[in-house]
Chain A
Amino acid sequence: MASKAGPGTYIGAIILAIIFFIPLWVLILIAFEPVRFTFGRVYPSFLPLGFTLKNIITSITTPGLYLGSSLLRSLEVAFMVGGIAIFLSIFAGYGLSKLTARVSNKIIVLLFLINMMPGLIISIPVASEFDKVGLYNNIVGVALAQELVVLPLSVFIVLGGFRGLPKDLENQARVDGAPFFTSFFRIILPLNRIAIMVAFLLSWMTSWDEFTYAVIIDPIAPSNSTFPVTLYNYVSRDLALDAATFALVATVPVLILTGFLMKYLKGQYLSGGMVV
């Protein structure tokens, strides 16, 4: 049983919450305060001194700023990354779960090895190869490149889910007369849905935030790049105000997804032990 939360727990939680909340708070201040209270000051206040929607409206309506298109592009890429990740993870995870742990663990380590190389080093050859097959400057190309980042973890989570399922459930389904695919889709997959969902959401959020592959494989044209790249573009062009607004907008889907994820993000799902 979890021990009772004492006052120390709450103080710790509050301090942590403040640390995590400060960046978001600064973003909110920049986005909703008149500029004279934020960028207009040498020492901007941490307390809100005024309220305006002008910043947001300007950022959205100014021609040449591409909030909508880059958000859309990011959404497309993120869903594609999540989709490809779980599609591959389901089959890879199921296959690995049938091997002995000794073998499958080694394969998992190999998968993670790719992530130990800096993304920049891998992204350049990837970009040049993608260019040959028409995946350069293409959302499918970005999505595929981002799979390099998300796939190991995604396979690991889904594999953990499969490993945690009692083997006799599958056996029972076969004995009950189910051909392999019926038992897989009717029994095995539904039972592992939580691990699959967690893998999807983590892949989605990783892609939403991913910069290295996106900036190298997708061009820096602001009209036509994913959200983090566009944001970087604005910051580097000294459009910090617009960047702040954008960042705030970009936080919304993450907050929503985190809300979903909170329900499932208990240690046991990541460690692979699934409660059925």
Chain B
Amino acid sequence: MSYTKLKLDNIYKSYGNKLVIRGLNLDVEDGEFLVVLGPSGMGKSTLLRVIVGIEELSGGRIVLDGKDISKLPPNKRDIAMVFQNYALYPNMTVYQNIAFPLKLAKVNEAGSYADSTKNSGTLRKLTKDEIHKKVMQIAETLKIADVLERNATQLSGGQKQRVALARCLVRDPKMFLLDEPLSNLDARVRYTARSELKKIQKELGYTFVYVTHDQSEAASLSDRVAVLRNGKIEQVSSYETIINKPKSKWLGDFVGDYPMNFIDGKLLGKEGYEIGFRNTWTKEASSGLTATVDFCQVTEDLYTVRATLSADSSDDGKEGKKVDVFESQDAPNTFHITMRVSKRYDVGDPITFQLLKYNLYKDGLLSDVVGH
């Protein structure tokens, strides 16, 4: 049975006058891989730092396993974290790095981890042998057994990432926070690391909160995605839901390979709405919307076309359009459509297409979906 592992209850964080997190609510289920996605500068890292306790909360509560941990120092919270730059102790070997949290850990007589938030009988430290066993075990799992004696500074990026992960996993905390742990790796290593991370998380049943700005990571790793915008959660759900039914225009624009296209609802007889559709939700048709091709990219028999609505099909487009920083940089009424086409299109050709499905937005928020 999954239950709520971590509950962020209306939390605030400000630096001086600057509010970074403003009234954020989020529930993390036990054993889930939650990806926090957001553009940079939206408070992603701050969120993790607040959860782990190295930044003090300005307001609200953090509840872990039913206990309020908002006021506890980081070493008492029993949450592990991998920092973006891995923060390996440069004065220690890999072995010492991984053993460091173990040397500090307190266990009960049976040798299992004690709950640091309450006093539970007599506690002792792990013995040297126990530490050694655990370090070797995690080193085997993460395939870093051959570099244990090396200094932490002498490792490649991929090895550093594994060591940081090993140090994080070795002590069996209540949950894990990862701050863009793969962003410093080159593409090849990143793909392998991604799948390994997911495998470890599922096999051991750990709860992960993983921060990234990389949508492909969110897509491949997450059980659920929480999109952060201006210090608040814009939407929490599976990645597919966010792609197909983004709750707001901003989300539609931010998530996905191509920004969601928005056109005036009048074109389909939906007065007062904006129609949002993805480039792949279209098919070539003899009647429907007509646009002018600006640019055409061919991948096998799929054509990705950037098109502009023809002047006659729309008399609107500029009036009352809310300007948002994260909105598509394209000109109004320009959008991307990807579809199978019967003939080759050239720049300037008219293209007629129908929407297989679309979403209706009113005042920037999702109000209805059609065809899903």
Q: Are A and B genuine complex partners?
A: yes
A residues contacting B by CB (< 8 A) are 166, 168-169, 171-180, 182, 186-187, 190-191, 276
Distance between A188 CB and nearest chain B CB, rounded to angstroms: 10
Sorted nearest first, the 8 A-B pairs with minimum C-beta distance are: A172-B87, A176-B101, A174-B74, A177-B104, A168-B87, A171-B54, A276-B90, A168-B83
Q: How far is the CA of A113 from the CA of B101 in the complex (A)?
A: 44
Note all chain A residues with C-beta closer than 8 A to B83: 168, 171-172
What are 8 A-B pairs with beta-carbon distances under 8 A?
A166-B85, A169-B87, A171-B74, A172-B81, A176-B101, A176-B171, A178-B100, A276-B90
B87 close to A182 (CB less than 8 A): no
Contacting residue for A177 out of B49, B89, B105, CB 8 A:
B105
78-113 of chain B: CB within 8 A of chain A: 79-81, 83, 85, 87, 89-91, 100-101, 104-105
- Min CB distance B102 to A, Å, is 9
Q: Is the CB of A175 within 8 A of B75?
A: yes
Known contacts A174-B54, A175-B79; A169/B89 CB under 8 A: yes
Write the B169-181 contact mask toward A (1 if CB under 8 angstroms, else 0).
Answer: 0010000000000
In the complex, the answer to whether B104 meets A178 with C-beta atoms within 8 Å is: yes
Chain B interface, number of residues (Cβ within 8 angstroms): 24
Least CB distance from A39 to B in Å reads 55
B73 at the interface (CB under 8 A from A): yes
Given A176-B167, A177-B116, A187-B89, 5 additional A-B pairs, CB 8 A:
A172-B83, A174-B74, A177-B171, A178-B75, A187-B91
The residues of A that contact B74 with a CB separation of less than 8 Å are: 171, 174-175
CB distance from A35 to the nearest CB of B (A): 55
Q: Are A177 and B101 in contact (CB under 8 A)?
A: yes
A186 → B minimal CB distance (Å) = 8
* Closest B residue, CB atoms, query A177: B104
CB A161 to nearest CB in B, in angstroms, measures 13
Shortest CB–CB separation between residue B76 and chain A, in angstroms?
8
Q: With a CB–CB cut-off of 8 A, which chain A residues contact B116?
A: 177
- B120 CB to closest chain A CB (Å) equals 16
Contact A174 B75 (CB under 8 A): yes
Q: Report the bound CA distance from A216 to B74 in whole Å.
A: 52
Which residues from A are CB-within-8-Å of B52? 175
Determine the chain A residues whose CB is within 8 A of the CB of B87 once the complex forms.
166, 168-169, 171-172
**CA of A173 to CA of B90, assembled, Å:** 12
A-contact bits for B51-88, CB 8 A (1 contact / 0 none)? 01110000000000000000001110001110101010
A166: which B residues are within 8 A, CB to CB? 85, 87
State in angstroms the CA–CA spacing of A186 and B79 once bound together.
20
Measured between C-beta atoms, what is the minimum distance from A111 to chain B in Å? 27
List chain A residues, Cβ under 8 A from B100. Answer: 173, 176, 178, 186
Chain B residues near A168 (CB-CB < 8 A):
83, 85, 87
Q: Which of the listed residues A166, A174, A182, A191 has the most CB atoms from chain B within 10 Å of its own CB?
A: A174
Residue of A168, A180, A186, A190 most packed against chain B (CB within 10 A): A168
- Closest chain-B Cβ to A195's Cβ sits at a distance in Å of 13
Task: Quote the shortest CB–CB distance from A276 to chain B (angstroms).
Answer: 5
A182 CB contacts on chain B under 8 angstroms: 104
In the assembled complex, the Cα of A46 lies from the Cα of B112 at a distance in Å of 78
Shortest B136–chain A CB gap in Å is 19
Q: Which residue on B lies nearest to A179, using beta carbons?
A: B75
Report the nearest A residue to B89, measured CB to CB: A187
Residues of A close to B73: CB separation below 8 A: 174, 179-180
When C-beta atoms are compared, the residue in chain B nearest to A191 turns out to be B91
Determine which residue in A166, A172, A174, A179 has the highest number of CB atoms from chain B within 10 A of its CB, and name it.
Answer: A172
B104 x A176 contact (CB < 8 A): yes
**Known A166-B85, A168-B83, A190-B91: A175·B104 in contact at CB below 8 Å:** no
Taking the nearest CB of chain A, how far is it from the CB of B345, in angstroms?
A: 52
Please give, as numbers and ranges, the residues of chain A lying within 8 Å of B167 by CB-CB distance.
176
Contacting A at CB under 8 A, from B158-208, are: 167, 171
A258 to B167, CA, bound (A): 40
In the assembled complex, the Cα of A168 lies from the Cα of B74 at a distance in Å of 13
**A174 neighbours in B (Cβ, 8 Å):** 53-54, 73-75
Q: Closest chain A residue to B100 by CB distance?
A: A176
A172 nearest CB neighbor, chain B only: B87
Give the docked Cα–Cα distance between A174 and B74 (Å): 6
Closest residue of chain B to A187 (Cβ to Cβ) is B89
Report which residue of B49, B90, B167, B171 has the largest number of chain A beta carbons within 10 angstroms of its beta carbon: B90
A179 to B101, CA, bound (A): 11
In the complex formed, the residue of B with least CB distance to A186 is: B100
Give the chain B neighbours of A171 by CB distance below 8 A: 49, 54, 74, 83, 87
Q: Which of B80, B87, B90, B101 has the most CB of A within 10 A?
A: B87
Closest A residue to B177 using CB positions: A175
A168 to B90, CA, bound (A): 12
B90 engages A175 (CB within 8 Å): no
A171 to B56, CA, bound (A): 13
Bound CA–CA A191/B79 (angstroms): 25
User: Taking the nearest CB of chain B, how far is it from the CB of A159, in angstroms?
Assistant: 19
0/1 interface trace, chain B 105-129, chain A, CB 8 Å (1 if under): 1000000000010000000000000
Picked from A176, A179, A180, A191, the residue with its CB within 8 Å of the CB of B90 is A191
* Cβ distance B74 to chain A, nearest Cβ, rounded Å: 4
A175 and B80 within 8 A (CB) = yes
B24 to chain A, nearest CB (A): 21
Which A-chain residue is minimally distant from B74 (CB atoms)? A174
